[in-house]
Amino acid sequence: MPQITSVYGLFPGPHSAERGMNALRDAGVPGDKIVVLAPEPFEEYEFAQGDRKTAMGWIAVGGGIIGAIGGFVLAWYTQTAYPLVTGGMPIVASWPTGIVTYELTMMGAIIATLITLLVGSRLPNWKPKLYDPEVSHGKVLIGVVEPSDDSRANLEDRLRRAGAEKVKATGRFATS
């Protein structure tokens, strides 16, 4: 079990999760201490909107440009390093160079997307962290990390009133 101290509630669906989020905000919990874990993206809901900004699209374009340059250099270099005439074509044949450049452009974009995804979502991360297997069973986890000791009861009560099926605590608050 994780060593992180937290209090969280497991909500049966996105509407109740939304209420839980609002309850925590009304309690004055700062945004960076609220944890949300969901089994689905829930794009349309407010609670799932954290950490949204990403430059992934632009990075993919950048990766494509790097791939294009790499492809062009590869094509140009391999044709001039050992120049052999074939079929009356010029040594640096434009159409084949274009095709290889295009393919490596797409390869660059794909690799850039993949790397940005892993880095941006901080995966792989096998270290112990806050998680509850109930999340993959369909529950939304809304909670607070490192709450102050005296706010614990208040938070648990708010989560329950917002509709949490279960309210749990971990770390030093863990009961068993």
| Residues 72-101 contacting another protein, CB under 8 A | 74-75, 77-79, 81-82, 84-89, 93, 96-97, 99-100
Task: Give the nearest distance from C-beta 106 to another protein in angstroms.
Answer: 5
User: CA Rg, the chain, in Å?
Assistant: 26
Q: Residue 124: is the preceding peptide bond cis (ω within 30°)?
A: yes
Q: Which 8-state DSSP code applies to residue 83?
A: -
C-beta closer to another protein: residue 103 or 174: 103
Name the minimum Å distance from CB 56 to another protein: 5
Alpha carbon distances (Å) from 109 to 67, 100, 119, 137: 7, 14, 15, 35
CB 25 → another protein: shortest distance, Å? 15
Using rule CB under 8 A, residue 157 touches another protein: no
Q: 14 vs 171, which CB is nearer to another protein?
A: 14
Beta bridge partners of 144: 7, 34
Residues 48-77 that bind another protein (CB under 8 A): 48-52, 54, 56-57, 60, 71, 74-75, 77
Is residue 155 within 8 Å of 144, Cβ to Cβ?
yes
Using CB under 8 A, pick the residue from 72, 106, 160, 166 that binds another protein.
106
Of 137, 132, 175, the closest CA to residue 39 belongs to 137
Contact pick of 65, 66, 107, 169 for another protein (by CB under 8 A): 107
Collect all residues with Cβ–Cβ distance below 8 Å to 50 and sequence separation of at least 6. Answer: 31, 34, 36
103 binds another protein (CB under 8 A): yes
Among 31, 137, 150, 176, binds another protein (CB under 8 A): 137
165: left (phi over 0), alpha (psi -120 to 50) or beta: alpha
Q: Specify the stretch interacting with another protein by CB under 8 A; choose among 24-32, 118-126, 145-153, 166-174.
A: 118-126
Cβ proximity of 96 and 86 under 8 Å: no
Within residues 17-36, the interface with another protein by CB under 8 A covers: 19, 35-36
